[in-house]
Amino acid sequence: MTDLSHPGAAGRGIDRSQAIYWGVAALTTILVFGPITPIIFQAFLDKPLYDDSAVVTIGNFTRLFSEPGMAGVFFNTLYFGALTMIVAQVFGAVMAVLVGRTNLPGRKWLGEIFIWPLFVSNLVIAFGWFTMYGPSGFITLAAKTYLGGAPWNLYTVTGMGIVAGLSQAPLTYLMCLAAVTKADPLLEDAARSTGAGPFRALFSVTIPMIRPAIIYSAVLNFVVGIEMLAIPLLFGGPSGIQTVTTFLYNAGINAAVRPEYGIVGAAAVILLLVVAFLVWLQGFLMKGAGRFVTVRGKASRPSTLDLGAWRWPAFLFVFAFAFLTIISIFGGIFMRSAVSFLTPLIPFWKVLTTANFEHVLGSANYVRSIVNSVLVATIGAAIGTFFILVIALVARRSDFRHNRALEYIALFPRSLPGIIAGLGFFYAVIWLPGADVIRGTILVLILAFMIRYIPVGFGAIAPALAQVGEELDRGARISGADWWTTVTRIIVPILKPALFSCYALLFIHFFKEYVTAAFLYQPGSEIIGTTMLQLVAQGDNGPVSALATIQVVITAAFVILARRVMGAKIYG
């Protein structure tokens, strides 16, 4: 029999397992709360936290709420977040039901299209909406030319909220799809046996049963809305509309003389508290989710609702949604990258050019941003996967007495908006002794991204870990193996598919991230997202579209590779 015991472990004075437990717990706590601590300190200091003469004060909060227009900023944020949530929930849930439970024509390929936006940043999506539906957008000009006017205006809070909601609908779709396809068909059959028609059974039985998915995605979309930067910055900036995130961005980075550290810290703390409350509310509302469990030990397959004469009208509705909110958005980005200017008045093939790509690929700064993005995603995802794996093993498969606390700490970044994470790391590297050595490097970007997306990776590994029987652990431990030997030789090999999925998810999130990096990058550590932010501010739309196209192509290639070669499970 193979000896699984750690060579030389007996007789040593140090328990390797306990050392790993405490080391992982300490490192996780430092990395998670390290960036938050200086923000809280800064919120209560009258000067920058690196200034030794700074004294404690609550004046920053007083100044914040007395700032002209600040009440409007908070109102805009809440209204924008609420509208984002409502629009996303309505369209996402409807699409999930139509694709997941009906005989809708083309539902397989339509379902694939619906998840495209989840693979790219909302900065790319926002630019796509600007290209097609902005004041001089392709579809806007076509509507003005051939229809006499365009009935939309994206430069209002309502317009921004609708755009954000339609952009977030794929997230609701994905979460509701998983629930609606697993609903017990016997419940619908029972309703049908009492005389209910197919639509009555669907809306009276099935849709209420997916309430947990609707609640979870609703709160998540509200959180995404109030912490979103790209859409409020792109559409709100020109019209003078601010949300909390754009206020933090402008006051912290684009301040005319020097950043208002105190006010920025106070606003960041308020945003952090709001998001933390919403995440808590999400968990509280999900406490009763067990009442909605319909998948039991007995195998069952949900029946498909026959739409009858409504099949093709439903298809036209779903296809119109996919075309107007997804296909046209990506198509607009691709077209704009390949032309000198984009207008419906001139056939695009008459203005084709490679100048945008030549400009991007001929610039050392732009090429470096592409290379840095690939490096951050490739290396960062590998480091993050290993770190999250160890956290999950300690939290879920060890006798560490603080394992539950470790899991709560690891999942806390769900409450950490990207702009707060970036701001916190920015404060930390200028405040903590010795931390300045990583300032302006891609290492600080990797650390910031890794901490922010621990919950994403944990969500990929923990369910697979729960499916591994604990008798495997006990068998190895009885034979004399210590904890680390047991998990590395027995548990980890079984988790390979989940680890591939974790790596793929982290790669995608790291590659598309830009908000967290906004405060952290310096010349030499640019990534695609931060370069796009600069170019958007300059109105240089050609290079922006070229960079966005490159980002989408690289992401698409990776997703195909991850799915077909690595067998990774990405977004369901």
The DSSP string of 157-196 is HHHHHHHHHHHHHHHHHHHHHHHHTTS-HHHHHHHHHTT-
Alpha helices in 228-308 (DSSP H): 230-231, 244-252, 261-285
- Gap between the terminal Cα atoms of the chain: 40
Q: What is the CA radius of gyration of the chain?
A: 25
Q: Are 478 and 550 contacting, i.e. CB atoms less than 8 angstroms apart?
A: no
Q: How confident is the prediction along the chain (572 residues), in pLDDT tens digits per residue?
A: 444 444 444 444 457 888 999 999 999 999 888 888 888 888 898 887 777 788 888 888 888 888 888 889 999 999 999 999 999 999 999 899 888 888 889 988 999 999 999 999 999 999 999 999 998 899 999 998 888 888 899 999 999 999 999 999 999 998 888 777 766 566 666 666 666 665 666 666 667 777 778 888 888 899 889 989 999 999 998 888 999 889 888 876 655 456 677 888 888 888 888 888 888 887 777 665 444 444 444 445 556 777 778 889 999 999 999 999 999 999 999 999 999 988 888 888 888 999 999 999 999 999 999 999 999 999 999 999 999 999 999 998 888 889 899 999 998 888 888 888 888 888 888 777 777 788 888 999 999 999 999 998 998 898 888 887 777 777 666 766 777 888 888 888 888 988 999 999 999 999 999 988 988 888 888 999 999 988 888 888 899 999 999 999 999 999 999 888 877 777 65
Largest CA distance in the chain: 86
Two structure tokens written together for 456: 């994403």
Contacts 24+ apart (CB under 8 A), 24-30: 24/390, 24/391, 24/394, 24/406, 25/394, 25/400, 25/402, 25/405, 25/406, 25/409, 28/391, 28/406, 28/409, 28/410, 28/454, 29/409
User: 10 to each of 36, 72, 145, how far by Cα in Å?
Assistant: 41, 66, 82
- Cα 562 from Cα 558, distance rounded (Å): 6
Q: Are 125 and 117 contacting, i.e. CB atoms less than 8 angstroms apart?
A: yes
- Cα 243 from Cα 75, distance rounded (Å): 8
| Residues 6+ positions from 377 with CB-CB distance below 8 Å | 506, 507, 508, 510, 511
Cross-strand partners of 385: none
Q: Which of 163, 138, 233, 164 is nearest to 537 (CA)?
A: 233
Question: What is the CB neighbour count within 10 angstroms for residue 564?
Answer: 9
Q: Which of 26, 11, 24, 15 is nearest to 482 (CA)?
A: 15
- Cα 33 from Cα 276, distance rounded (Å): 14
Q: Are 568 and 504 contacting, i.e. CB atoms less than 8 angstroms apart?
A: yes
Cross-strand partners of 305: 102
Cross-strand partners of 352: 339
Using alpha carbons only, what angle is made at residue 121 by residues 118 and 122, rounded to the nearest 5 degrees? 95
